[in-house]
Structure 1
């Protein structure tokens, strides 16, 4: 099976859907038309640039360039996590918690998959390393962003309840334990939903791409199962670490609630 080549006209035709949605946003006064257009433009520019960069990296197979690409991806994801928070952690913590969580989850899980499961020689082959890290990182970023946002917003809204529990003698970890659990659950809902409907309601992106490229369906299925498990692991570890670190940051050594460590709501 030969993969169908898409022309610029084909992409422009698909892009008319964005214009239609932007028009509906204007008609319904949703105020997201500009965001849709900017996001679509960013998609085109970023993916086009990525295509050139990946071609260069794939040709060289240089571990230093691959590490630089991974560093850029992780730090950018950390910045995006910080931007999605209703209440951001002040200072470097706003960027550091999310970035550290993704490094300790997505990066390590990608290494595990490349070395222990895929076993490609060399293990850092960019055709495997970069797409794998990108898929795990993107989904982990979503879980961490949702978990941290739920944590900070709920702590802010329930500060009176938390302080009452502290005055009654509870440790801070006990006073926010239910909030911490709910935040972790919220962060894991997207991947749980994705796994629950995979193959029934939705055909995941990697599997669809492989099938369109001519891969045997069962091989595409096996790779997709692998990816879903890796994503679930990354999202789980990352969200648990980020929410735990965030909750710890909201207290001090005397078990006091430290809302001064959060910035104002956007």
Structure 2
């Protein structure tokens, strides 16, 4: 197998030329996306450069404490993104806490299962395995949870009279909110379903591509990619289900009343 060209920072900058073209087109068409494109690209660059330095230190240290600290920071940033992507939030600590809790529990459960039972590095918390795996699982679960919660809160607000009418007819809170629940669950599951459907036929995932470029046999790379996709799909499903039903429990009460006063921007 021939050696691949080691990238320089000049190559990386050159790869941004098409993004710059998009920014210019945005200006010409007055789309208002130029600032967002540039800020997002700069933010991504700074974050990845910093992450590269931090991971190099953590991998060299090989410490459980540093690995747990890095995982905690990842959870904190992902939790903030879940909260920020919702137009309406649960009031109080439930707002940032519910989505973050569902995502973290699902992510940790799946990651520990994969490390201890499937990949089995020595030690099991080896940061070279634990952090990339946890990051992939967490990122996808974050997307599903944020979409699911945002859809649920919007749907309940829009269908308030419909849900309350069902409750007056004697339906339980779970029955009355079922249409909104289904809509939210579909929204939360859609990204990972689309990703699994397109993987292989349309796109080669980054992990698989990286392994192939580094010289790993394609069949071995395929097995690892399947393992990762199954884990991501499972974690996303658990996180979305936990967040949606947890929010429904909060937005209703034991007397089967709709409590949208517990949602920002809503009154009872």
TM-score by length of 2: 0.95
* Higher RCO (C-alpha under 8 Å, 6+ residues apart): 1
Match of 2:190 in 1: 189
Residue 12 in structure 1 maps to residue 13 in structure 2: yes
Give 1:2 shift. 3.2
Range moving further from structure 2, 254-263 or 146-155: 254-263
List per-residue Cα deviations over 1:9-54 (Å, max 9, x = no partner): 1111111222211222222232222111111011100000000100
Matches within 5 A, 1:212-231: 212-231=213-232
Range moving further from structure 2, 29-38 or 235-244: 29-38
Partner-residue secondary structure (3-state), 2:16: helix
List per-residue Cα deviations over 1:174-201 (Å, max 9, x = no partner): 1101211221121111111111121111
Partner-residue secondary structure (3-state), 1:5: coil
Match of 2:165 in 1: 164
Match of 1:34 in 2: 35
Rounded to whole Å, the distance in 2 between the matches of 1:23 and 1:90 is 41
Match of 1:240 in 2: 241
Match of 2:116 in 1: 115
Match of 1:102 in 2: 103
Unpaired runs of at least 5, structure 2: none
Q: 1:97 to 1:3 in 2, by over 3 A?
A: farther
* Structural RMSD (CA): 1.3
Partner-residue secondary structure (3-state), 1:193: helix
Rounded to whole Å, the distance in 2 between the matches of 1:38 and 1:229 is 33
Match of 1:207 in 2: 208
Corresponding residue pairs, total: 265
List per-residue Cα deviations over 1:221-258 (Å, max 9, x = no partner): 11100000000001000000001111111112322111
Partner-residue secondary structure (3-state), 2:147: helix
Match of 1:72 in 2: 73
Match of 1:173 in 2: 174
Consecutive aligned runs of 4 or more in structure 1 exceeding 6 Å deviation: none
Range moving further from structure 2, 19-28 or 220-229: 19-28
Range moving further from structure 2, 83-92 or 237-246: 83-92
Rounded to whole Å, the distance in 1 between the matches of 2:30 and 2:231 is 40
Give 1:3 shift. 4.2
Give 1:264 shift. 2.7
